[in-house]
A and B are shown apart, each in its own frame.
Chain A
């Protein structure tokens, strides 16, 4: 089975500062990688995904992530944090459609943005 590790269950940044949320995975096959965001009292919304091709992927709300196979990492970044970025972020890995698109989620990182 896959596993996902998100370092730091809570991250605080100042408004305008760089956001870096870390995600490492274990996979015996080329993975499909995802970042989701969860705002309070809401479901999960897809931020971005890596399936094939370019290893630097851009998502919504100014977020991006880079797939680094040698480091088995898929860290999420945003150059300048905004107050509206405060939310819970989940990294997920999948083997894709051949295994029913089963996702394995990390335990989440709660992002606080300080004014």
Chain B
């Protein structure tokens, strides 16, 4: 089984709808992240969480919110989706100690019409 899973993998929604993207991990990492990927822009950080009680805004948090329900679960919500939120969304995790790399989920492709 994959260490970092994301659901759904693909989603088409309409403008104004609320949508939630979910991320779960079995790596036991404290830190979790949400990114969006747009062609030609690379990955940009939306939110990150050091632990269940510590959530921080990233570079592009406007229009998004998150919830860290447990150490292993980190959800991203779009309260009122708009077309320019159409993108590929990635969840990632990392350990807070000596190992610095982030481990990525397979991504969720979101289309807002």
Contacts and interface: CB of A to CB of B under 8 A. Distances in A.
A107 B102 contact: no
A42 B90 CA distance: 10
Given A44-B90, A100-B48, A107 B41 contact: yes
B42 A32 contact: no
Nearest to A97: B96
Interface residues of B, number: 27
Interface magnitude class on chain A:
20 to 34
Contacts of A49: 100-101
A96 B42 contact: no
B50 interface: yes
Given A34-B101, A106-B42, A108-B42, A101 B107 contact: no
Interface of B: 4, 31, 33, 35, 40-45, 48, 50, 56, 58, 90, 92, 94, 96-97, 100-107
30 contacts: A34-B101, A36-B104, A42-B107, A43-B105, A43-B106, A43-B107, A44-B90, A44-B92, A44-B104, A46-B103, A49-B101, A51-B100, A94-B100, A96-B100, A97-B96, A97-B100, A100-B48, A100-B50, A101-B31, A101-B94, A101-B96, A101-B102, A103-B45, A103-B102, A105-B42, A105-B43, A106-B42, A107-B41, A107-B42, A108-B40
